[in-house]
Structure 1
């Protein structure tokens, strides 16, 4: 796993993404080293401006101090015409994310109180609460 940098290194082919799936990872599947792709329910598929906003927010995450748990509740899976490009697995509790691009995994410790992180989390929670209401 690579070391953290100034901002998350979102893969270069992110611009090719046509959909960004928000995946809710069930509590029973939350694991410090989740399988790839992560198990869970796709609660929403973002496109267009929402997809671009979510990736822009992710790129804006500043470095932070990670804690120890890494029991992620959400993942973002980028697709181009139904083909997976990469996956970002997020744990807001311990402020750590993993970017999985093919066989490569890069870790990043982020500041969960930064406006970009707060806004992306709000987007995810809003989408997830709408999904639960529809279930």
Structure 2
């Protein structure tokens, strides 16, 4: 999956469990439950995983369950909402060039996607992890 050039400025990533997925097709902000903040090695590992997501056929549902907000030391750079059902990841934000500001396809069964989803699940509070395994 293509990431914006601003990825190089990412200092921290907020992990978001999306609670109202229907609003994320055109919304300006990524909303849901903030479950973790990743810094340092977690940021570079996550961006490497996302950047290595292979393409797939994009389906139509786009009901995302997880998302990230990528920040520099002072600003929001970009957001991504992931739908592991329809193989879509919506990339948008203030530092996303127009051509990349869209829904990108990814293969949710690929090793990088499975690892990313596992990291999302592992970042959730322990009592919620069993419920989240379904997404």
Q: TM-score range with shorter-chain normalisation?
A: 0.7 to 0.9
CA displacement at 1:101 relative to structure 2: 3.0
| Total equivalences in the alignment | 124
Q: How does 1:1-135 map to 2 (within 5 A)?
A: 8-26=1-19, 29-31=20-22, 33-102=25-94, 104=98, 105-130=101-126, 132=128
Which stretches in structure 2 are left out of the alignment for 5+ residues?
Answer: 130-135
Structure 1: 4+ residue segments shifted above 6 A: none
Q: RMSD value over aligned CA atoms?
A: 1.8
TM-score by structure 2 length? 0.84
In 2: Cα distance, 1:43 partner to 1:34 partner? 23
- Checking the alignment, whether the CA contact within 8 Å between 2:35 and 2:123 is kept in structure 1 is yes
Which stretches in structure 1 are left out of the alignment for 5+ residues?
Answer: 1-7
In 1: Cα distance, 2:120 partner to 2:5 partner? 23
Higher RCO, Cα 8 Å, sep 6+: 1
TM-score by structure 1 length? 0.84
1:110-134 per-residue CA deviation (whole Å, 9 max, x = no partner) reads 111111111001000111243847x
**Distance change (3 Å), C-alpha of 1:64 and 1:87:** same
